[in-house]
Amino acid sequence: MSNDLPIRVDRAAQIPLASQLGQQLTWLIVGGQVPEGDQLPPVRELAGQLGINLHTVRAAYQQLSNDGLLSIRRGRRAEVLKYDRTKAKASWVDVPSFSIGAIIPEFAPFYEPLLRGIEAAAAESPTMVFLCNAHDDPKAALTYLDRLISKQVDGIVVAAPLLEPDAALPPPGRPGLVFVDSPGSPGPSVEFDLEGSQFIATNHLLEHGHQRIGYITPPRHIPNVGPKYAGYQKALASAEMRLENELVIEVPNFQIRSGETAASRLLDLPNPPTAIAAASDDLALGAFHAITSRGLGIPDQVALVGNDDIEMAAIIRPALTTVALPVAEAGRRAVAMLEDIIAGVSPDPSRVVLDTELIIRETCGCEQPARG
């Protein structure tokens, strides 16, 4: 690698020079800018570049070696080792940073109230929140996790099933980890009654007399998607109706365009559904566009329900009937859990499941004659 590392030191700062150097090198290694197998500049050379004593550089290298980031051998340049987050606490100073991180899958409307809840709860401390958008990429989520750890935040909220089930995680304690909307997560979590949410949405359509209800869902193996599909199945079973596979359309994600594509497939069936339930409001908005683009009326020709209650659900006309998930409350509860962990107390309970609520608006046809 090039010996020109993007680092500098400030002699006037009260932070020791070796700590300044060590923190910057740690950030570069954890962030992947200095990858495994690379060699750092010789001690004397880097000391000359920075204008500091070689013993200062040697002390910084030794600290990184103690943290498991470097291999130091006599007569050889320091070599970067594979980062192991399970040993990430080695160099932590046991003092609060008054900061937490939040890792979300995407800047989607669903996560806006979650972030507001996190910010509102954190501001009471006061605590700074670092927001990281993983763009639905598990590798990016892990990178952000590592970077937040290297910044020594006090805790981290991870939203949705972003991390792979076999992902290595830091040891329990500080930083605390709390998961939101991630059933089966490996640590303290705040979840929603997802099965119940889809049950009440589908059952509401059944109460209107619909016999063929289409369902739009992302891949059902995703931990926070499968329970919703189970709710759809349960509602049909409770009405002694047979599950028809052609009425279940699986899409790759929660995006509006996916909802539109799925609804078009349902409407193209020889015997299309008279109602559509979607696993999210964004999918329902896509279905809304597909239905109205064909000149079909909502709800008189096709009824529609969503799941989430994002802001847009109340704005469109006719307004979307959906299920409200207490997302902002989930953010507040997650921060409360982190505060317990930071204080050295195990959250009790360690798993919180929040109730959901059916929000009746117009697309379900409540003001329309029931179908026989």
Domain match, 232 and 310 both:
yes
Domain match, 207 and 281 both:
yes
Give yes or no for a cis peptide into 165 (omega within 30° of 0). no
Last residue of a domain, one of 59, 83, 107: 83
Asked whether residue 92 carries a pLDDT value surpassing 60, the answer given is no
Domain match, 187 and 168 both:
yes
Domain match, 198 and 288 both:
yes
Confidence of residue 369 (pLDDT cuts 50, 70, 90): very low
Percent over 90 (pLDDT), the chain = 80
368 assigned to some structural domain? no
Closest CA to 178 of 200, 195, 156: 156
Asked whether residue 172 carries a pLDDT value surpassing 80, the answer given is no
Segment 242-265 mean pLDDT:
97
Q: For tokens 């990858």, name the residue.
A: 35
Asked whether residue 205 carries a pLDDT value surpassing 50, the answer given is yes
Stronger pLDDT, 176 or 87, i.e. the higher one: 176
29 in helix, strand or coil?
helix
3 assigned to some structural domain? no
Domain match, 300 and 332 both:
no
Domain match, 46 and 149 both:
no
Model pLDDT, residue 303: 98
Number of structural domains (the chain) is: 3
CB 173 within 8 A of CB 89: yes
∠ CA 124-173-65, nearest 5°, is 120
Asked whether residue 269 carries a pLDDT value surpassing 80, the answer given is yes
CATH of the domain at 144: 3.40.50.2300
Domain match, 277 and 340 both:
no
Stronger pLDDT, 172 or 62, i.e. the higher one: 62
Count of CB atoms situated within 10 Å of the CB of 181: 25
Domain match, 337 and 188 both:
yes
Model pLDDT, residue 88: 62
Q: What is the DSSP-derived secondary structure letter of residue 171? A: P
Model pLDDT, residue 169: 87
Domain match, 262 and 181 both:
no
Model pLDDT, residue 367: 61
Segment 287-295 mean pLDDT:
98
Last residue of a domain, one of 31, 52, 83: 83
Confidence of residue 185 (pLDDT cuts 50, 70, 90): very high
Beta strands in 67-188 (DSSP E): 70-71, 79-80, 99-104, 128-133, 155-159, 176-180
Confidence of residue 248 (pLDDT cuts 50, 70, 90): very high
Confidence of residue 3 (pLDDT cuts 50, 70, 90): low
Domain match, 239 and 283 both:
yes
CA atoms within 13 A on the CB side of 79: 9
Confidence of residue 264 (pLDDT cuts 50, 70, 90): very high
CB 268 within 8 A of CB 262: no
Model pLDDT, residue 5: 83
246 assigned to some structural domain? yes
The mean-pLDDT minimum among 25-39, 121-135, 225-239 falls in: 25-39
The pTM assigned to this predicted structure is 0.88
Domain match, 318 and 207 both:
yes
CB 171 within 8 A of CB 114: no
Asked whether residue 1 carries a pLDDT value surpassing 60, the answer given is no
Q: What is the DSSP-derived secondary structure letter of residue 370? A: P
Segment 350-370 mean pLDDT:
87
360 assigned to some structural domain? no
263 assigned to some structural domain? yes
Domain match, 103 and 182 both:
yes
27's tokens: 């950030």
256 assigned to some structural domain? yes
117 assigned to some structural domain? yes
Model pLDDT, residue 368: 45
Segment 27-42 mean pLDDT:
90
Count of CB atoms situated within 10 Å of the CB of 312: 18
**Which residue range(s) make up the domain with 346?**
99-192+328-353
Distance CA 105, CA 311 (A): 19
Confidence of residue 89 (pLDDT cuts 50, 70, 90): low
126 assigned to some structural domain? yes
CATH of the domain at 36: 1.10.10.10
Confidence of residue 372 (pLDDT cuts 50, 70, 90): very low
Instruction: Identify the top-confidence range among 18-27, 28-37, 85-94, 301-310.
Output: 301-310
Segment 132-150 mean pLDDT:
93
